[in-house]
Structure formats: structure tokens, C-alpha cells
Amino acid sequence: MSSTITTPQDWASDQEVRWCPGCGDYSILKAVQLLMPELGGTPANTVFISGIGCSSRFPYYLDTYGMHSIHGRAPAIATGLAVAREDLDVWVVGGDGDMLSIGGNHLIHALRRNVNLTILLFNNQIYGLTKGQYSPTSEVGKVTKSTPFGSLDHPFNPVSVALGAEASFVARTHDMDRGHMMEMFRRAREHRGAALVEIYQNCNVFNDGAFESITSRSARDDMLIPLVHGEPVRFGADKQKGVTIDGQGRAQIVNVADVGEEAILVHDESRPDPGLAFMLSRLASGPDEPTPIGVFRAVDRPDYGSQVTAQLEAATERGGPGDLDALLHSRPSWEVAPA
């Protein structure tokens, strides 16, 4: 691909897609394939790296460079690639088990370092590929094959985790709204640094309907709280509900009529401090309460790879390019003359 004008077909590989019929992964793949031509990149300069899990099959279905690696390690592998090759557009794809359980460490470190990665976290709150065990985002009490008496683990909220790691870009979307997904993916890709998008994804085989009470067409208006930069945080069919910050600094859902429009929080994704974004991420304790979606945080912070490169350039500027012969003679040495 020499031209930057591409079509969705240029981005689709010839491999047969092998997710279960009806899986939310299909709509996410479609959103990415439709979006890619709009972003102006080329398949040659784009790399998708995944771990292990259903969603980690993703790279096979895109005609870009790709690596289907090992469980949990995609953020680490992608970090190496992104740091070595700043010219590439590197995406990371994985599920909640992959990136929050076995690979949780790599995820938080990629985020805190602000490696230039676009990370798509498919959250279906279940282990799909291993056939239905509870995951680190499953709700407490979940009955699965490995928890016949209900799970005891308190779940992670991926957006809270990312904000806790001070990720410079954090967003949430869901697999039922292609337009919103494409918008979030576009924002994440255009962000320089580590960008995490949590995608509520339905696993219709092992956890069907996990997000239905908030993402179904009939529920959305009342159950999804769209975060839009510079606008009051309001939702409901008539935008009759909103979010305020109380005297204790806690986010609260209120009736706009009760508090007045001026009291409603105006969303500012660019706040340097992640505290308020964190508060918003705590509004819902699970996908059965009104849940914010959209960009929680988008701040400018130097990305890791360009700082690494800057150090290399500065060193070269100071002392010229490395000279191996000079290096080998840089320590005290002595001559032995021919006998």
C-alpha cells in the first residue's frame, strides 16, 4: 500500500472469522475495519498485537502486520515494538482475562509509561476461550464452572484501573453502537501515548446479556451516561438526569430539575488530575446501573518512545554517533610491542 487512500477491503484479511455466531467481537471488528480507511494510515504501517483469548484472534482478520502472542503479554510485546519503531501505528487487543488478570502488570505499566499504543480491551466479564470461568471483571457471586457456589472476588473496574495507573487516555464504549465505537477508537488512535478503550462486549455463549440492561436500545437512554468534553453530563430521554459533584467530592446522579442546570458537572476530559475522572468511573459499580461511556480522560503527556528516541538523539548530538573502536579503547589500556 503506497497510497494512503484505502478501503475497508484493504484492511480485511482472507482468513475465515471464527468467533461464535452472534459474538460481540464481530461488530468490534467491523467498526475497526470501517474506521481504518478514515484514519489515513496504511496496512503496512499498522500492527495489531494480541494475547490469548477469543478477542485475541483479532489480528488474523486484518490485513496488517500482526502478532497473536501469548496470554497477557501483548502490552509488553507491543511496548518493545512501539519503542523500537516509532513510525508504526501499534494496536493492542485483548480481553478482560488477558489484560486484567494474567497480563494486568503489563497493562498498568504500559499505561503509566505512556507508550504510544492504542489498546482495545474487550470486556465480556467472563473467560470465553476456556469455556466459561469467571474473570477479574465478573460480578461478585457469579456462578460459573469454577465457582459453582458463586465467585468471591471483588471485580476490577477497568476504567478505574487505567485511571489509577494515570493513563493519559481512557474511554469506554460498547459493542452495540458502531458509531460510538468508531468515534472512541478514532480518538484513541489520534491520541499520542497510551490510549485505553474499554469495550463492553457481549459473549453470547458464556455470559449472554451481561450488558443488556444498559446497552440495549430501549435501556440506553436511561442507563448510559454519555461523557462529552465541554458539555454538562446529562442523560435520559429528555436529558432530565445529570451528574453533580457533592460536597465530599463524590459524583452523584441527580434530577436536573431538582438541582438546576448550573449545578450539573461540565465534563472536562483534559483535567491534569485524574481524580474527577476516577469519580465518574465509580458512578456505577456494575453494568446494571447508569454507566458513563465516552472519553473519561485525554491529557497531553510526552509518550515513552519519543522520549527514548530523544535521549538517543541528544547523546549523538553531544558526542557524535557511537564509534566502536573508540569504545573498545575507552578504558585504561597498554601496548605490547612486537618482540
Partner 1 sequence: MADPAETIDADRSPVEVDRVIIRFAGDSGDGMQLTGDRFTAASAVFGNDLSTLPEYPAEIRAPAGTLAGVSAFQVHISDHEITTPGDAPNVLVAMNPAALRSELKRLVDGGTVLVNTDAFTERNLEKAGYEVNPLTDGTLDHVTVYEVPMTSLTKEAVAPLGVKPRDAERSKNFFALGLISWMYTRPEGPTLTWIDQHFASKPQVAAANRAAFMAGHAFGETAELFDHPYAVRPAVRPPGTYTNITGNVALAWGLVAAGRQSGLPIFLGSYPITPASDILHELSKYKSFGIRTFQAEDEIAGIGSAIGAAFGGHLAVTTTSGPGVALKGEAMGLAVSLELPLVIVDIQRGGPSTGLPTKTEQADLFQAMYGRHGESPLPIVAAHSPAACFDAAIEAARIALKYRTPVMLLSDGYLANGSEPWRIPDVSDLPDISVEFATEPNHTDPDGNAVFWPYKRDPLTLARPWAVPGTPGLEHRIGGIEKADGTGNISYDPANHERMVHLRADKIAGIANDIPPVELTGDTDGAELLVVGWGSTWGAIDGAANRVRARGRRVAHAHLTHLNPFPPNLGEILARHDRVVVPELNLGQLSRLLRAEFLVDAHSITKVQGVPFTAGELEAAFLKELGA
With a CB cutoff of 8 Å and minimum separation 6, the contacts of 30 are 178
Considering only the C-alpha atoms of the chain, give the largest distance between any 2 of them, rounded to a whole number of Å.
Answer: 100
The closest alpha carbon to 280, from 270, 293, 264, 298, belongs to 293
Residue 328 C-alpha cell reads as 573498545
Buried b (16+ CB within 10 A) or exposed e, 143-154: ebeeeeeebeee
Nearest distance in Å: CB 196, partner 1 = 16
The partner in contact with residue 87, picked from ligand SF4, partner 1, none with C-beta cut-offs of 5 to 8 angstroms by kind, is partner 1
Nearest distance in Å: CB 206, ligand SF4 = 5
- Find the binding residues for ligand SF4 in span 88-127 (CB under 6 A): 124
Nearest distance in Å: CB 49, partner 1 = 7
Cβ-based nearer residue to ligand SF4, 95 or 104: 95
Contact (Cβ atoms closer than 8 angstroms) between residue 258 and residue 240: no
- Mark residues 300-319: x for contact with partner 1 by CB under 8 A, - for none: --------x--xx-xxx-xx
What is the three-class DSSP state of 305? helix
Handedness of CA 45, 46, 51, 57 (dihedral sign): negative
- Mark residues 103-142: x for contact with partner 1 by CB under 8 A, - for none: --xx--x---------------------------------
Q: Does 137 bind ligand SF4 (CB under 6 A)?
A: no
User: Among 23, 32, 36, 83, which residue sits at the site for partner 1 (rule: CB under 8 A)?
Assistant: 83
User: Among 206, 235, 278, 304, which residue sits at the site for ligand SF4 (rule: CB under 6 A)?
Assistant: 206
Nearest distance in Å: CB 87, partner 1 = 6
Nearest-angstrom CA–CA distance, 97 and 158: 11
- Mark residues 36-75: x for contact with ligand SF4 by CB under 6 A, - for none: ------------------x---------------------
Contact (Cβ atoms closer than 8 angstroms) between residue 159 and residue 170: yes
Nearest distance in Å: CB 3, partner 1 = 10
What Å distances lie between residue 282 and 105, 209, 233, 250, 296, CA to CA?
22, 22, 15, 9, 12
Binding site for partner 1 (CB under 8 A): 1-2, 13, 15, 42-47, 49, 52, 59-60, 63-70, 73, 76-85, 87-88, 105-106, 109, 308, 311-312, 314-316, 318-322, 324-325, 327-329, 331-339
